[in-house]
């Protein structure tokens, strides 16, 4: 079960020459990173930034949970301070962490190598989009320095048009992040179209590439609309143009249409890449070909397309017309079809496979469990009658945390552990990984399952104070959040520790067969010396486990591996 | 953000040869190392530009959405607003942009066949057309701003009333001659008591401005304004007239910014083309920059009738 | 259309003998500009006549014809890979979904909004009662 990590048996790492040349030591100095066009380095820079922002967003989450420990003032007596905390938590997590998380960090690193390509299609654009992300992050920090923003991450008008807090820097930051996301998506579409080797047909691509492609389509088509929406909001605040604010003659429901036309598809920008990762994780760590490859592939595309047609389900109680409510509710239910196809195919993939509960696999399996809860509770919210009751309660908070964190971020951390040996060339400690996972998984469910109960009993979201009868649930939820924080601290420790003291990673620690496992860990600067042979990336017949070294070797790479 | 940025050539790396290359496999000097052929690089650049153009369509799309929503709910705003715009300046702008599109397309052709001199002349002509467009825009904007037609709370009701009164008087003098500025014949007397919409609007304790003065129907207009969409209040100017000018300035302003970006791209192409680098095997930057310029034209093709004509 | 094929230039060739360029005859391009100008005159002329709602309809049809001319010939979609055209059409399609649904909804709820806008302001404003 844990052979790849602990079964060293003092065997030397055969394929590692003393100082192998790879992308990390290809060149040195600050500028060699700051001006790099190498997709791997850009991916690593994204990863560092995104994980840093995850820490920042996490701190605000802990502040929110701590404040809710008891009714009335707990750590702040200023309710507006509480408003800023949850707004900053939401905005940082959504725009700076989850949306760029998988595509820009892990995707940038893995996608070209999976294609056997030397780089993404437009390396300069890739670097440019990284700096747009940095610009967005700087504007967020500026927002914090200017006293924060309290409109909620959704920036709903009319409040966002009149609040005295720093809406404009926050919105400018989101605008820049939007363009960063657009350019990443654009790059990926062109890369998959034009740098896919001739032997790799669409249906020979790893499933991660299918979901990345579907994600990129959403990024390109939906994100410009949030761009113009936020520009209009800035105009509304500064010049009172009268599009979104009733006081100036505008229509606030229109803002919600604008906002959700992007932000609902954005939910799929967050979840689809994680689903792609899970498709890889389940197959690789079960050592079994994905069940229903084409169904998983097409369901990604179907989710992307349906995603554009359901935005109104965020607006059931916003005076949206009954006719539109009915239409959006009906289409919302149909999204459950491709989602369920994925879940059942993952389960069928595991069935009869030789499952290894490695740390990435633990996250993969958690994803299926948590996503099922998140998805099924979505049906309660997509139903018009029940949504009237649940709208703006902790039920919604729990639902989208099961999807955003329990699925999208858990999937991202699964991918991080899966590709960590490839990224850094080091193995992390399996036992500590399992401990961290256990804390996070248990803590997550303690935190958020309680909130389903809270919400169904009528606790509204975003409230600073609450009735005493909710106190016990809030206390449980807060304890859960501390458990999660402990888990992430352990994770940070062993991942950082592995960089400096971890074992050398073999080129194929999990026994996978897609192209990124055919180059060394970490990959060389050019990824592949010569274009790699394209074979079936889910054919595990040619990958052998060597009990003596505790490692996998691919027969195709045999001459190189045993030299 | 210039679209052709990603087509910028990278110096060829000596070790970047794929093994499948011909023995003579000399890379074109502008072929980046991760592409196998110039064709692959060219088509990727074009695909990337088309995707970028799709994002531009959706970026403008938000403003078009606002336009159609407000037009369908408040047609009187647009009835009133388009009469205040000068359709001949708009038509002039259309012609200038269409001509510039032709010169750009011919420029691409010149690049394709390697006629550098012709290419540079055509790029210069396109740039001049861009300048022409912006000049007409400047004349138009300064006229509007001078009469107080501005967006949002900058819309100056006093100045606009003054201008409308003058226009009405001029019309009376010329004996029913149709002025371009105001076709509406029933503009009522100037009511000095009416205040500018936002400047004096008091703010509530929550910092939210109450419904502006202008939103309240005038005395005589009470019935007319309720009569359904399309009914002009008797004073001749519909309430919330500033919304039309908000949409007008934001749409044409965003478009103007795109014209400026397009002109910068063309200037960059003009500078880089001096060393004869463009020819049959390498013209991607011209082609891709051209695509961007044509999109700017394409958007104006829709803006012109929507804002100026109907 | 036959003009388009009438180029006499040898065609663009890259280092490996592939055709990249598709130069289009100058006369043909000038003809496209002529058609665009004609359509511009038509759209201005039609706007002088009050046809009610048909004005918007006609103007959009004419504008779309002009846009099609620009996209097909000036932007070379006529000779390009169909996928590039699909991207453009797709972007218009998704824009249609966006505007269509938003318009459908505003049509439905606007009649509830209008009376609110028309009532004296104290009922709609956000001030505390008694202000």
Write the DSSP string, A157-217: TTHHHH-SS-HHHHHHHHHHHHHHHHHHHHHHHHHHHHSS-TT--GGGS-HHHHHHHHHHH
First-to-final CA distance of chain A: 28
Assess whether pLDDT exceeds 60 at residue B14.
Answer: no
What percent helix, strand, coil does chain B show, rounded to 5? 65, 0, 35
First-to-final CA distance of chain C: 72
What percent helix, strand, coil does chain A show, rounded to 5? 70, 0, 30
Beta-carbon separation of A195 and B215 below 8 A:
no
d(CA A299, CA A278): 14
Beta-carbon separation of B283 and C60 below 8 A:
no
Assess whether pLDDT exceeds 70 at residue B223.
Answer: no
Assess whether pLDDT exceeds 80 at residue A373.
Answer: yes
Q: A446-450, C24-28, C65-69 — which is least confidently predicted? A: C24-28
- Tell me the per-residue pLDDT of B232-289, one tens digit each, with 9 for 90 and over: 343 567 878 889 999 999 999 999 999 999 999 999 999 999 988 898 888 999 999 9
Assess whether pLDDT exceeds 60 at residue A13.
Answer: no
Which of B19, B47, B250 has its CB closest to that of A530?
A: B19
pLDDT at position B22: 38
pLDDT at position B26: 61
Taking contacts as CB-CB distances below 8 angstroms, the residues of chain B near A222 are 58
Under the banding of pLDDT at 50, 70 and 90, the label for residue A1 is very low
> ipTM above 0.95?
no
Assess whether pLDDT exceeds 80 at residue A544.
Answer: no
Taking contacts as CB-CB distances below 8 angstroms, the residues of chain C near B304 are 40, 43, 63
Q: Which of A237-241, A362-366, C16-20 ranks highest by mean pLDDT?
A: A362-366
pLDDT at position C114: 62
Tokens at A42, concatenated = 């850009």
- Please, which residues bridge with residue A546 across strands? A551
Taking contacts as CB-CB distances below 8 angstroms, the residues of chain B near C94 are 58
pLDDT at position C129: 37
Tokens at C97, concatenated = 């979904």
Closest chain A residue to the Cα of B67, Cα to Cα: A243
Query: Would you say A523 and A40 are in contact if contact means Cβ atoms under 8 Å apart?
Result: yes
Q: What percent of chain A has pLDDT over 70?
A: 94
- Please, which residues bridge with residue A393 across strands? A460
Top pLDDT among C122 and B103 is at B103
Taking contacts as CB-CB distances below 8 angstroms, the residues of chain A near B215 are 249
Interface of C with B in 37-76 (CB under 8 A): 37, 40, 43-44, 47, 55-56, 59-60, 62-63, 66-67, 70-71, 73-76
Assess whether pLDDT exceeds 50 at residue B3.
Answer: no
Taking contacts as CB-CB distances below 8 angstroms, the residues of chain A near C105 are 253, 257, 312, 320-321, 323-324
Assess whether pLDDT exceeds 50 at residue A9.
Answer: no
Tokens at C60, concatenated = 């959009």
Assess whether pLDDT exceeds 70 at residue B46.
Answer: yes
Taking contacts as CB-CB distances below 8 angstroms, the residues of chain C near B39 are 14, 18, 20
Assess whether pLDDT exceeds 80 at residue A180.
Answer: yes
pLDDT (mean) for A403-407: 95
Under the banding of pLDDT at 50, 70 and 90, the label for residue C16 is very low
Q: Does C104 touch chain A (CB under 8 A)?
A: yes
- Cα B104 to its chain centre, rounded Å, is 18
Tokens at A276, concatenated = 């792609």
Chains near B (3 or more Cβ pairs under 8 Å): A, C
As a whole number, the mean pLDDT across chain B is: 76
Under the banding of pLDDT at 50, 70 and 90, the label for residue B153 is confident
List the one residue out of A482, A337, A459 whose CA is nearest residue A396. A459
Q: What is the pTM of this model?
A: 0.87
- Tell me the per-residue pLDDT of B226-239, one tens digit each, with 9 for 90 and over: 333 333 343 567 87
d(CA A427, CA A509): 9
pLDDT (mean) for A362-371: 97
pLDDT at position C19: 65
As a whole number, the mean pLDDT across chain A is: 91
d(CA A385, CA C30): 61
Under the banding of pLDDT at 50, 70 and 90, the label for residue B163 is confident
Crossing angle of the two packed helices A293-306 and A207-239, in degrees rounded to 10? 10
Which of B5, B19, B62 has its CB closest to that of A124?
A: B5
List the one residue out of A406, A423, A316 whose CA is nearest residue A365. A406
Which of B101, B206, B309 has its CB closest to that of C59?
A: B309
Phi, psi dihedral angles at C38 (to 5 degrees):
-60, -45
Is there a cis peptide before residue A158, judged by omega within 30 degrees of 0?
A: yes
pLDDT at position A234: 95
Helices of type H across A351-466: 359-382, 384-390, 394-403, 410-424, 430-456
pLDDT at position A530: 78
Closest CA of chain A from B150, distance in Å: 10
Element at B226 (helix H, strand E): helix B222-226
Q: Which of A170-184, B177-191, B239-253, B274-288 ranks highest by mean pLDDT?
A: A170-184
Which of C97, C102, C124 has its CB closest to that of A309?
A: C97
Under the banding of pLDDT at 50, 70 and 90, the label for residue A556 is low
As a whole number, the mean pLDDT across chain C is: 77
Give how far Cα B216 sits from Cα of A248, B179, B228, B238, C115, Å: 12, 29, 16, 11, 11
pLDDT at position A2: 41
Taking contacts as CB-CB distances below 8 angstroms, the residues of chain B near C99 are 61, 64-65, 68
pLDDT at position B148: 86
Tokens at A49, concatenated = 């930034």
Under the banding of pLDDT at 50, 70 and 90, the label for residue B194 is very low
Under the banding of pLDDT at 50, 70 and 90, the label for residue B18 is very low
pLDDT at position A296: 95
Beta-carbon separation of B55 and A232 below 8 A:
no
Q: A7-11, A210-214, B52-56 — which is least confidently predicted? A: A7-11
pLDDT at position A292: 93
pLDDT at position B199: 37
Taking contacts as CB-CB distances below 8 angstroms, the residues of chain B near C87 are 47, 50-51, 53-54
- Cα A42 to its chain centre, rounded Å, is 17
Beta-carbon separation of C108 and A322 below 8 A:
yes
Q: What percent of chain B has pLDDT over 70?
A: 71
- Tell me the per-residue pLDDT of A96-150, one tens digit each, with 9 for 90 and over: 999 999 999 999 999 999 999 999 999 999 999 999 999 999 999 999 999 889 9
pLDDT at position C116: 58
Tokens at A458, concatenated = 């009528």
Give a three-class secondary structure readout of A499-557: HHHCEECCCCCCCCCCHHHHCCCCCCCCCCCCCCCCCCCCCHHHEEEECCCCEEEEHHH
Assess whether pLDDT exceeds 90 at residue B100.
Answer: yes
Interface of B with C in 29-88 (CB under 8 A): 37-39, 42-43, 46-47, 50-51, 53-55, 57-58, 61, 64-65, 68-69, 72-73, 87
Assess whether pLDDT exceeds 90 at residue A466.
Answer: yes
Which of A158, A225, A321 has its CB closest to that of C105?
A: A321
pLDDT at position B154: 82
Q: Does B153 touch chain A (CB under 8 A)?
A: yes
Q: Does A308 touch chain C (CB under 8 A)?
A: yes
Query: Would you say A59 and A85 are in contact if contact means Cβ atoms under 8 Å apart?
Result: no
Mutate to test the interface with A, among C83, C90, C91, C101 (most CBs of A within 10 A): C101
Q: Does B98 touch chain A (CB under 8 A)?
A: no
Q: A299-313, A378-392, A415-429, B152-166 — which is least confidently predicted? A: B152-166
List the one residue out of B199, A327, A479, B4 whose CA is nearest residue C105. A327
Under the banding of pLDDT at 50, 70 and 90, the label for residue A557 is low
B138 CB contacts (<8 Å, ≥6 apart)?
none
Q: What percent of chain A has pLDDT over 90?
A: 79
Taking contacts as CB-CB distances below 8 angstroms, the residues of chain A near B207 are 162-164
């Amino acid at each position: 079960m844990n052979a790849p990590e602990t079964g060293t048996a003092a065997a030397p790492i055969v394929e590692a020459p003393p100082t192998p040349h790879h992308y990390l030591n290809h060149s040195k100095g600050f500028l060699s990173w700051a001006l790099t066009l190498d997709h791997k380095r850009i991916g690593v820079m994204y990863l560092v930034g995104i994980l840093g922002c995850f820490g920042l967003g996490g701190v605000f989450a802990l502040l929110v949970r701590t404040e809710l420990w008891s009714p009335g003032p707990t750590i702040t007596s200023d309710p507006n301070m509480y408003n800023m905390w949850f707004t900053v938590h939401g905005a940082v997590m959504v725009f700076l962490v989850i949306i760029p998380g998988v595509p820009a960090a892990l995707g940038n690193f893995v996608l070209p190598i999976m294609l056997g390509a030397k780089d993404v299609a437009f390396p300069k654009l890739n670097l440019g989009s990284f700096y747009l992300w940095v610009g967005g992050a700087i504007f967020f920090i500026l927002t914090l320095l200017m006293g924060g923003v309290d409109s909620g991450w959704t920036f709903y008008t009319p409040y966002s048009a009149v609040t005295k807090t720093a809406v404009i820097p926050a919105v400018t930051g989101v605008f820049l992040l939007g363009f960063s996301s657009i350019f990443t998506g654009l790059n990926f579409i062109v890369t998959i179209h034009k740098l896919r080797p001739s032997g790799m047909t669409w249906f020979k691509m790893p499933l991660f590439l299918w979901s990345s492609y579907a994600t990129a389509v959403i990024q390109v088509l939906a994100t410009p609309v949030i761009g113009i929406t936020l520009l209009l909001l800035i105009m509304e605040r500064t010049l009172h143009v009268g599009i979104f604010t009733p006081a100036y003659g505008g229509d606030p429901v229109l803002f919600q249409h604008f906002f959700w036309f992007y932000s609902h598809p954005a939910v799929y920008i967050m979840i689809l890449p994680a689903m792609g990762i899970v498709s890889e994780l389940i197959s690789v760590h079960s050592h079994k070909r994905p069940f229903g490859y084409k169904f998983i592939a097409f369901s990604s595309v179907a989710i992307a397309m349906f995603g554009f047609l359901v935005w109104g389900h965020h607006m059931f109680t916003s005076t949206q017309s009954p006719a539109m409510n009915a239409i959006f509710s009906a289409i919302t239910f149909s999204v459950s079809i491709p989602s369920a196809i994925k879940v059942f195919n993952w389960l069928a993939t595991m069935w009869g496979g030789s499952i290894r509960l490695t740390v990435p696999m633990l996250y993969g399996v958690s994803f299926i469990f948590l996503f099922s809860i998140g998805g099924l509770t979505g049906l309660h919210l997509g139903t018009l009658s029940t949504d009237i009751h649940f709208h703006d309660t902790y039920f919604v908070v729990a639902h989208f945390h099961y999807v955003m964190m329990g699925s999208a971020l858990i999937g991202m951390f699964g991918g991080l552990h899966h590709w960590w040996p490839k990224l850094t060339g080091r193995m992390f400690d399996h036992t500590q990984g399992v401990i961290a996972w256990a804390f996070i998984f248990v803590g997550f469910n303690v935190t958020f399952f309680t909130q389903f109960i809270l919400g169904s009993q009528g606790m509204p979201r975003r409230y600073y104070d609450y009735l005493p009868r909710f106190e016990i649930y809030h206390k449980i939820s807060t304890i859960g959040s501390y458990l999660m924080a402990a888990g992430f601290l352990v994770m940070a420790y062993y991942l950082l520790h592995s960089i400096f003291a971890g074992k050398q990673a073999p080129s194929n620690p999990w026994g996978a067969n897609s192209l990124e496992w055919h180059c060394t860990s970490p990959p060389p600067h050019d990824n592949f010396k010569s274009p790699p042979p394209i074979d079936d990336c889910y054919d595990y017949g040619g990958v052998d486990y060597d009990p003596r070294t505790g490692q996998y070797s691919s027969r195709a790479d045999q001459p190189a591996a045993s030299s | 953000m210039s679209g052709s940025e990603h087509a910028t050539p990278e110096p060829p790396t000596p070790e970047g040869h794929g093994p499948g290359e011909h023995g003579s496999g000399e890379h074109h000097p502008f072929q980046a190392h991760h592409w196998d052929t110039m064709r692959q690089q060219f088509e990727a650049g074009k695909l990337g530009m088309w995707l970028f153009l799709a994002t531009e369509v959706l970026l403008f799309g938000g403003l078009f959405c606002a336009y159609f929503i407000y037009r369908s709910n408040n047609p009187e705003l647009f009835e009133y607003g388009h009469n205040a715009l000068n359709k001949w300046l708009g038509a002039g702008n259309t012609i200038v942009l269409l001509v510039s599109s032709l010169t750009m397309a011919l420029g691409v052709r010149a690049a394709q066949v390697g006629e550098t001199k012709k290419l540079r002349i055509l790029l210069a002509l396109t740039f001049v057309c861009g300048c022409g467009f912006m000049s007409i825009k400047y004349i138009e904007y300064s006229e509007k701003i001078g009469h107080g037609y501005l967006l949002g709370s900058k819309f100056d009701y006093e100045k606009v009333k003054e201008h409308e009164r003058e226009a009405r008087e001029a019309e009376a003098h010329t004996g029913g001659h149709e002025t371009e500025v105001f076709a509406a014949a029933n503009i009522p007397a100037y009511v000095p008591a009416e205040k500018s919409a936002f400047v004096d609007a008091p703010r509530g304790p929550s910092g939210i401005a109450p419904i502006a003065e202008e939103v309240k129907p005038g005395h005589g207009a009470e019935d007319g304004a309720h009569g359904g969409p399309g009914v002009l209040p008797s004073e001749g100017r519909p309430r919330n007239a500033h919304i039309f000018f908000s949409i007008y300035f934001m749409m044409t302003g965003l478009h103007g910014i795109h014209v400026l970006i397009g002109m910068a791209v063309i200037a960059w192409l003009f500078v880089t083309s001096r060393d004869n680098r463009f020819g049959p095997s390498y013209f991607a930057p011209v082609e891709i920059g051209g695509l961007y310029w044509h999109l700017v034209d394409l958007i104006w093709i829709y803006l012109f009738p929507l804002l100026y004509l109907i | 259309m036959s003009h388009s094929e009438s180029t006499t230039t040898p065609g663009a060739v890259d280092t490996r003998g592939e055709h990249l360029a598709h130069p289009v005859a100058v006369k043909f391009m000038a003809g496209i500009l002529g058609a665009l100008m004609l359509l511009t005159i038509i759209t201005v002329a039609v706007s002088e006549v009050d046809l009610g709602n048909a004005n918007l309809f006609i103007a959009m049809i004419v504008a779309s014809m002009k846009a099609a001319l620009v996209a097909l010939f000036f932007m070379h979609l006529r000779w390009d890979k169909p996928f590039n055209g699909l991207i453009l059409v797709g972007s218009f399609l998704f824009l249609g979904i966006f505007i269509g649904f938003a318009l459908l909804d505003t049509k439905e709820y606007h009649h509830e909004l209008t009376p609110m806008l028309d009532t004296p302001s104290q009922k709609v404003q956000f001030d505390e009662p008694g202000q």
